[in-house]
Amino acid sequence: MNQLDQLKAFTTVVADTGNFLDMARFAPRDATTNPSLILKAVQHPAYAPLLAETVAAHRGAPLDAIVDQVLVRFGLEILKIVPGRVSTEVDARLSFDTRATIERARRIVDLYAKAGIGTDRVLIKVASTWEGIQAAAQLEREGIHCNLTLLFAFCQAVACGEAKVTLISPFVGRIYDWHKKAAGAGWDEVANAGAHDPGVRSVARIWSHYKRHGIATEVMGASFRNVGQITALAGCDLLTISPDLLAQLQASEAPLARALDVEAARTADLPAVSYREAEFRYALNTDPMATEKLAEGIRLFAADAGKLDQMIGAR
């Protein structure tokens, strides 16, 4: 068995791409998208007819409504390929507006419903700000399932668990990037590889905390830089992986063992933790990496959302 097939024995594999034409060969169960991936996909010639058709069908509608139509159209195409769920992201520019996030999420879910897709096959992606987490808590109470993204700090994961969100996407590669840059010439790649990778350690800690305290929220490691980070998290609930890394896993037949042990996590000495708003904000503030990467991630997604607006508006 290749490593991709071995990984699927322990973990649900999710495709991290907006390019649904390149997805089927990896047979993922779910797929995730974000503004950057959709922006990249809509610039591919193969998707030009789909984009033109969607925009033309809704000409005259507000720009943000047309954008959501485009996002959902890509999601619908993806759902023809994956048997599970697709994650569609709320505009990152709403990351600090709870009410607007809720309203946008409801509209996206309604668009899927009009196309015959139920809430069991859709995850609404929301940034893991305090406001985003509160929006997700309300959406979950309404039966709208959420995927909390741009998650870098333990306090974010704890708050998401308390909000009873369906799934979180703690980032691995961006944490690794920050620590490598901060260390500069003192960075030791070998010493910080595999289970010792700072991004891997962060996800493993969150996963173990959830398992120890019976938190039902699923953990989906995201944002990988290399195969070693993926194999070090074999056994995590889900992993969302780019096509390039999926191809590397598929091309290798090296043995792959489960890295995360459920029984060990359930008996680990991990105290229960809870955060009220002020405590959450302070804990996030004391983590320079998480503070910087969350802000940077929102800025980058917002910038790509703006570019997508311009591209669609020009049509």
Active site residues: 125
Please state, as a whole number, how many other Cβ atoms lie within 10 Å of the Cβ of residue 96: 13
With CA atoms as reference, report the closest residue to 34 among 44, 42, 26, 25.
42
Q: Is 170 helix (H, G, I), strand (E, B) or coil?
A: strand
SS (HEC) of 222-291? ECCCCHHHHHCCCCCCEEEECHHHHHHHHHCCCCCCCCCCHHHHHCCCCCCCCCCHHHHHHHHHCCHHHH
| CB contact at 8 A, 150 and 114 | no
Q: Phi/psi class of residue 258: alpha, beta or left (left: φ > 0; alpha: ψ in -120 to 50)?
A: beta
| CB contact at 8 A, 95 and 127 | yes
| CB contact at 8 A, 171 and 222 | yes
Distance, in Å, from the CA atom of 197 to the CA atom of 228, rounded to the nearest integer, reads 9
User: Which residues on neighbouring strands pair with residue 171, listed in sequence order?
Assistant: 222
Radius of gyration of the chain (CA): 19
